[in-house]
Chain A
Amino acid sequence: MDLKEKLISSFMAFENNVDVEHPVHDLRMEAIKNFEVKGFPSKKEEAWKYTSLKSLQKVDFSIFPKQENALEYKDVKRYFLHEIDSYKIVFIDGIYSSFLSETTHDGVDICLMSSALTKPMYKPIIDVYFNKVASKDESLTTLNTAFSKEGAYIYIPKNKMPKKPVEIVHFATGNEASLMLQPRNLVIVEENAEVQIIERHQSLTPNAVLTNAVTEIFAAQNAIVDYYKIQNDNSSASLIDNTYIDQKSKSNVNVHTFSFGGKLTRNNLNFYQDGEHMDSTMKGVTILGEKQHVDHHTLVHHQQPNCESHQDYKGIYGENATGVFNGKIIVDKIAQKTNAFQQNNNILISDKATINTKPQLEIFADDVKCSHGCTIGQLDEEALFYLQSRGIPKKEATALLMYAFSNNVLDSVRIPELKVRVNKIIAQKLGVNLGFDL
């Protein structure tokens, strides 16, 4: 039985565990129908031209974990940003771990999707926001919608800001031979509110994991959202991460994606600008080796005038790694005075590494400034020579240059401890001790 059939037949079993009377269940039923028709995307589809999900579909993933698993904090401490205090929403094999988590209802709601979906007090909010910006058409998103039950629920009311950042961490323990997870997150940031979120998926054993995540973010007027995605999983874990962002006037949403590992990572990052004078920023650093594959798909849909968007993705690909970047900017007819920038720079350091990039512009308004730049190249030989001539060994010099190459992206990280952490991962990835923390 292939994965699609298995998922469809599991849906009935899934229905036994959720409230089928809740209006959300109608959305699930609709979604599973869509998935049944569409199935997994194939390479024939333009959006999946460079990424094949074929090998994943052959794996016999468990859809529901059989048992609850516990982890000791000391064993997984290093996967948290433990230098600072944070709210934590932690899942182990898709099941909420209250032991490792720290949620709150003090002025803001940082809690679980499962309670938001079941408790009547959240119903008005769920009615307004749930599945409103996520695609009802894209097959993997609808697959997630069909099985949506658990995940993070973050609600920041007007004029509030949580005291500390929020960490959402998904652990896979490997107790199942192969596990499929489908977390569903909902982030609502009301007027003048602000939130910082760090998200991480971590598999602890070499057993296969496939995560198909959907995150919906709603940023109301003047809201500020910083979302950091750390993707440094081991080489048996695959991640399909779908993020949908709805932005209102004068809001500011920044998404940073750090891709340093995983077998196959696909990021679908979609911004819908529904208002004026707002800024959307998406930045990413990708450093890959082995046979890793990362596919960044971004979409910025400028639907209203006077908005900006900034994209900056840097990639360094070694060994047999494959990198894909597909950035799409759509500027509607009425979205005059749009400023949209897109930049994608890549370095190939191995003969067997591949990069496929497609920066795409679709522009229907005339009074706009839109540009994209894209490069593929090597490190500057002269710069390397300069550093070496000053006594810096080649390996360190190479690392320094690569570090400098990706530094633009790190600049805009607003949690200093996170910046340090990412720096360390980069140094570790490049196999050197840079000897400085920024």
Chain B
Amino acid sequence: MAYTEEELKKELETKEYEYGFYTDIESDTFPKGLSADIVRAISKKKNEPEWMTEWRLDAFRIWEDMKEPEWANVNYEKPDFQAISYYSAPKKADPNKSLDDVDPELLEMYKKLGISVDEQKRLQNVAVDIVVDSVSVATTFKKTLAEKGIIFMPISEAIQEHPELVKKYMGTVVPKTDNFYAALNSAVFTDGSFCYIPKGVKCPMELSTYFRINEGGTGQFERTLVIADESSYVSYLEGCTAPSRDENQLHAAVVELIALDDAEIKYSTVQNWFPGDKEGKGGVYNFVTKRGLCEKNSKISWTQVETGSAVTWKYPSCILKGDNAVGEFYSIAVTNNFQQADTGTKMVHLGKNTKSTIISKGISAGKSQNSYRGLVQVSSRAENARNFSQCDSLLMGNECGAHTFPYIEAKNKSAQIEHEATTSKIGEDQIFYCNQRGIDTEKAIALIVNGFSKEVLNKLPMEFAVEAQKLLEISLEGSVG
């Protein structure tokens, strides 16, 4: 049946976060606050070698001297970094046990999210490294991957088992000094994934990690490091949902990608953390530093669908260091109610014949603010650099805002850079056309939004594309009058 505008609005406003449940698992939580002792304690808890502890402490000292960045186009209550507990691990979790021994309560939680581990393992040919509150509890398909020489494990294990790789690459793309949140992450990161694809290996399956924030009042500091050695290929998926909590939760992750000569990395994200309720209360703060380094002839492709979080501050970037490197960024950012997103990318062209593509689609509804902030930089040695950027914004309702801040800096005469941006709303005639053909307004909007985002959705791996499409629909139901 067709809804009236009022009904739609009402339903949207009262629609609680679908995945907002809270699983009661006993947690091993550190006292709140951050100090050098806490950093040491985290390192000790993780049984880390000396160099890692030092690395963390160094980052902590850097962080202490840094100030929170203020330049982003977002307003929020600054988190109190001394009121956060920096480590929590579900007690019953034990990464070495088989899947059957995993806490049934946890498995139940994943089922609610529609990502039943065993089902995925059987049906979807996806290796899943599930992270619940900082510690990996189930790692699947490890064996299959090991046969190919692919290393895919929690980063804490990698520090123990492959210290040479971690030591060599960690912090090279996102240095400890990079920014406030990266420094914080470097000091206190508790878990995350590590992935290494050896020379010439094409990873046979999509690697994916589901991040969850569970324990109220704990921040999550994930650290992901993906290294694709020469001529290798990997597609990495990351998806997130978080339970509904009233307290603002902080998430400051760091993702580093390294594509060596001729390698290709595809990194996809679906982010659907708790965005806060319709009054803007609660919600996750998502301050993420994601960056990839491209060596000769390599390619890094970022795809993201951002529908959650109260505040998003995220710029997946590519450093196109080698000649002929390619960087891509495809993004859909949806904000509703009081959400704020300041997201975009940086494409730094250093090598010759480097290419980058940026497609960013922003959809704002309710009272939200959606910003695209991007940088395309062509250095004086980057001959024949090529960039194409397109930023489209769709506004729904007159209380939201869409903003574009594209920075373009060219220092080479052979550079070719194009940037386009448009802002518009869904045309009444488009909706009328659909209505006329018996498609109700809500479905029509879903249809139009889908078309608007198609270019990006197409870039997602199949199983994600379906989920993402669903997410878009849920996030925007009835936001247009």
Contacts and interface: CB of A to CB of B under 8 A. Distances in A.
Q: A and B: real partners? A: yes
Given A351-B380, A354-B411, A376-B410, A359 B404 contact: yes
Nearest to A356: B409
A373 to B, nearest CB: 5
B242 interface: no
B404 A360 contact: yes
A374 B406 CA distance: 10
A349 interface: yes
A368 B396 CA distance: 11
Contact of A351 (B393, B413, B425): B413
B425 A366 contact: yes
Interface in A347-378: 348-378
Contact of A360 (B71, B406, B413): B406
Contacts of B403: 360-363
Contacts of A351: 380, 412-413
A21 interface: no
A270 interface: no
A355 B410 contact: yes
Contacts of B393: 361, 363
B406 A368 contact: no
A333 interface: yes
Contacts of A273: none
Contact of A374 (B71, B395, B415, B419): B419
A72 interface: no
A336 interface: yes
A365 B398 contact: yes
Contacts of A370: 422-424
Nearest to A351: B413
B348 to A, nearest CB: 14
Given A336-B398, A351-B380, A365-B398, A377 B407 contact: no
Contacts of A350: 413
A46 interface: yes
Contact of B409 (A354, A360, A368, A372): A354
A359 B411 contact: no
Contacts of B410: 346, 348, 354-356, 376
A373 B402 CA distance: 16
A333 B412 contact: no
A41 to B, nearest CB: 16
A359 B419 contact: yes
A295 B411 CA distance: 16
A21 to B, nearest CB: 43
B425 A367 contact: yes
A48 to B, nearest CB: 14
B421 A361 contact: yes
Contact of A366 (B380, B400, B420): B400
Contact of A375 (B71, B399, B418, B421): B418
B406 A359 contact: yes
B414 interface: yes
Contacts of A356: 407-410
Given A354-B411, A365-B398, A378-B414, A371 B404 contact: no
B421 A376 contact: no
Contacts of A366: 395-398, 400, 425
Contacts of B276: none
A369 B395 CA distance: 11
- A interface, size bucket: 35 or more
Given A366-B425, A373-B420, A377-B417, A358 B412 contact: no
Nearest to B395: A366
B368 to A, nearest CB: 11
Interface residues of B, number: 35
Contacts of B405: 358, 360
Contact of A46 (B71, B402, B421): B71
B98 interface: no
Q: Which of B413, B416, B420 has the most CB of A within 10 A?
A: B413
Contacts of A378: 413-414, 416
A364 B370 CA distance: 10
Nearest to A371: B422
Interface string B247-260: 00000000000000
B69 to A, nearest CB: 12
Contacts of B423: 361, 363, 368-371
B401 interface: yes
Interface in A329-357: 333, 336, 346, 348-357
Nearest to A348: B413
Contacts of B400: 364, 366
Nearest to B407: A358
Interface in B415-437: 415-425
A364 to B, nearest CB: 5
Nearest to B383: A351
A329 to B, nearest CB: 9
Interface string B376-405: 001010000000000001011111111111
Given A348-B413, A371-B423, A363 B402 contact: yes
B99 to A, nearest CB: 49
Nearest to A317: B413
Contact of A376 (B407, B417, B422): B417
Contacts of A372: 404, 419-421
B406 to A, nearest CB: 6
A409 to B, nearest CB: 19
A83 B53 CA distance: 78
Given A360-B405, A365-B398, A366-B397, A353 B419 contact: no
A180 B393 CA distance: 45
B398 A333 contact: yes
A357 B405 CA distance: 10
Contact of A373 (B416, B419, B425): B419
Interface string A261-273: 0000000000000
Contacts of A353: 411, 413
B340 to A, nearest CB: 13
B100 to A, nearest CB: 53
A349 B410 CA distance: 12
Given A348-B410, A370-B423, A371-B422, A376 B404 contact: no
A375 B399 CA distance: 32
B410 to A, nearest CB: 5
A51 to B, nearest CB: 13
B353 to A, nearest CB: 15
Contact of B380 (A352, A359, A362, A375): A352
Interface string B350-361: 000000000000
Contacts of B421: 359, 361, 371-373
Contacts of A371: 420-423
A371 B406 CA distance: 13
Interface in A368-392: 368-378
B401 A364 contact: yes
A22 B130 CA distance: 74
A356 B408 CA distance: 5
B18 to A, nearest CB: 26
A369 B423 CA distance: 6
A254 to B, nearest CB: 24
Nearest to B371: A362
A363 B395 CA distance: 9
A364 B411 CA distance: 34
30 contacts: A333-B399, A349-B413, A350-B413, A352-B411, A354-B410, A355-B410, A357-B408, A358-B405, A358-B407, A358-B408, A359-B404, A360-B406, A361-B393, A361-B402, A361-B423, A363-B393, A363-B402, A365-B398, A366-B396, A366-B425, A369-B423, A370-B424, A371-B422, A372-B404, A373-B419, A373-B421, A376-B415, A377-B415, A377-B418, A378-B413
Given A374-B408, A374-B418, 16 more contacts: A348-B415, A351-B380, A351-B412, A353-B411, A355-B410, A358-B407, A359-B404, A359-B419, A360-B405, A361-B421, A363-B395, A370-B422, A372-B421, A373-B419, A374-B406, A376-B410
Nearest 6 Cβ contacts at the A-B interface = A366-B395, A376-B417, A348-B413, A374-B419, A370-B423, A366-B425
